[in-house]
């Protein structure tokens, strides 16, 4: 309530919303997201065994939590919000010998209409210059 009137955070200038970990589908059962139907991830994912990318290199999404990512982003946009996501994630940590998927991740962000990206040091895709170059090539501003 602001001055007795119901007010949304967007009306107060908070117009960014961003997802963190938990949207991705891991290929194995990890300590942060145990799944008895998948093999356990050995060595806390540092051996190049864990991934949230499919054979085509595209991110795999937890459809039970996020059945339609593009629709989710579009709904945020319809509410006047900018929508962000998280890459190089911690839950399905792609570390050690895991391959990187910079191009596929940037394309996935573009295909779904995201406006912001969070990248940190959990996975092994640490080349921020390459991230910036690839996002800049799309022509869409991204924060």
36 — pLDDT class (breaks 50, 70, 90):
confident
The least confident of 17-31, 32-46, 124-138 is 32-46
| pLDDT tens per residue across span 12-31 | 889 999 998 889 888 877 76
User: What percent of the chain is predicted at pLDDT more than 90?
Assistant: 44
| pLDDT tens per residue across span 64-84 | 999 999 999 999 999 999 999
Residue 81 has what pLDDT?
93
The least confident of 13-17, 67-71, 90-94, 132-136 is 90-94
Residue 138 has what pLDDT?
95
| Residue reference for tokens 């209409």 | 113
Phi-psi label, residue 36: left if phi above 0, alpha if psi -120 to 50, beta otherwise:
alpha
Q: Which residue has the higher pLDDT, 102 or 90?
A: 102
Residues 56, 51, 125, 118, CA torsion sign: positive
Average pLDDT, whole number, for the chain? 87
Q: Is the pLDDT of residue 44 over 70?
A: no
């Amino acid at each position: 309530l602001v001055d007795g009137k119901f007010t949304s955070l967007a009306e107060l200038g908070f117009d960014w919303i961003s997802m963190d970990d938990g949207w991705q589908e891991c290929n194995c059962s990890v300590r942060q997201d145990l799944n008895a139907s998948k093999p356990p991830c050995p060595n806390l994912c540092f051996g190049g065994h864990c991934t949230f990318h499919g054979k085509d290199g595209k991110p795999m999404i937890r459809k039970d939590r996020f059945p339609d990512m593009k629709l989710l982003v579009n709904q945020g946009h319809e509410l006047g919000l900018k929508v962000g996501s998280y890459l190089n994630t911690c839950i399905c940590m792609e570390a050690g010998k895991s391959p990187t998927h910079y191009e596929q991740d940037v394309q996935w962000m573009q295909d779904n209409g995201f406006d912001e990206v969070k990248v940190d040091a959990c996975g092994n895709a640490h080349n921020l210059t390459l991230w910036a170059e690839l996002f800049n090539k799309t022509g869409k501003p991204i924060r």
